């Protein structure tokens, strides 16, 4: 099956000023020739993959491995699609933003956002899974759901590296209660 996803990396200092052509050449040699490469922000690289694999997990994890082989020391910043607003979800599902807003407002069991403020952000997987459970009213592409799940796992794991064990164990008691 074919899976579409984006991986964003921070380049190691040694590669931060490397030419785009050189990075693209190294990535191609490391089997990342199935990705469009973007280097808009200095010291960063984004790769938009369309990768053939048995599963979303195999596609995404092999892509991360291939990028790290091409650019040792690169650090994954974000895997996408994961963090989304209502407009993003509406576009993916084929409804209006207003429809998504009504669903969110009308259902207490709508997934909680991971960020609230002037704009709200959700994990795509949570919203897609919730929509999929709505009496079949919203047909969700299983490949998209699988990719959203794995990218969420990548991002959560990435963030978990920053946890300080003492505070994590103390805080966990209260947030999971």
Fold of 2-80: Alpha-Beta Plaits (3.30.70)
Secondary structure in 3-state letters for 50-86: EEECCCHHHHHHHHHHHHHHHCCCCEEEEEECCEECH
For 116-149, how does the pLDDT look when each residue is reduced to its tens digit (9 = 90+)? 988 999 999 999 999 998 877 888 999 999 999 9
Cα 24 off chain centre by: 22
Other CB atoms within 10 A of residue 152 CB: 19
Do 47 and 7 contact (CB within 8 A), yes or no?
yes
pLDDT average, residue stretch 146-167: 89
CATH 1.10.10 placement within the chain: 83-140
Fold of 83-140: Arc Repressor Mutant, subunit A (1.10.10)
156 contacts: CB under 8 Å, gap ≥ 6 = none
Going by pLDDT thresholds of 50, 70 and 90, the confidence category of residue 19 is confident
């Amino acid at each position: 099956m074919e899976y579409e996803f984006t991986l964003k990396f921070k380049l190691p200092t040694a590669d931060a000023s490397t030419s785009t052509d050189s990075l693209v050449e190294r990535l191609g040699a490391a089997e990342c020739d199935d990705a469009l490469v973007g280097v808009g922000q200095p010291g960063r690289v984004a790769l938009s993959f369309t990768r053939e694999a048995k599963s979303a997990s195999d596609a995404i994890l092999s892509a991360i491995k291939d990028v790290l082989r091409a650019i040792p020391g690169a650090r994954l910043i974000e895997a996408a699609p994961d963090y989304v607003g209502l407009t993003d979800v509406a576009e993916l599902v084929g409804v209006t933003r207003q429809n998504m807003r009504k669903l969110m407002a009308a259902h207490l069991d709508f997934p909680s956002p991971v960020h609230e403020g002037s704009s709200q952000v959700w994990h795509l997987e949570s919203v897609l899974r919730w929509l999929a459970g709505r009496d079949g009213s919203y047909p969700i592409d299983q490949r998209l759901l699988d990719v959203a799940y794995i990218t969420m796992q990548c991002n959560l794991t990435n963030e978990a590296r920053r946890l300080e064990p003492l505070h994590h164990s103390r805080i966990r008691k209260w947030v999971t209660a």
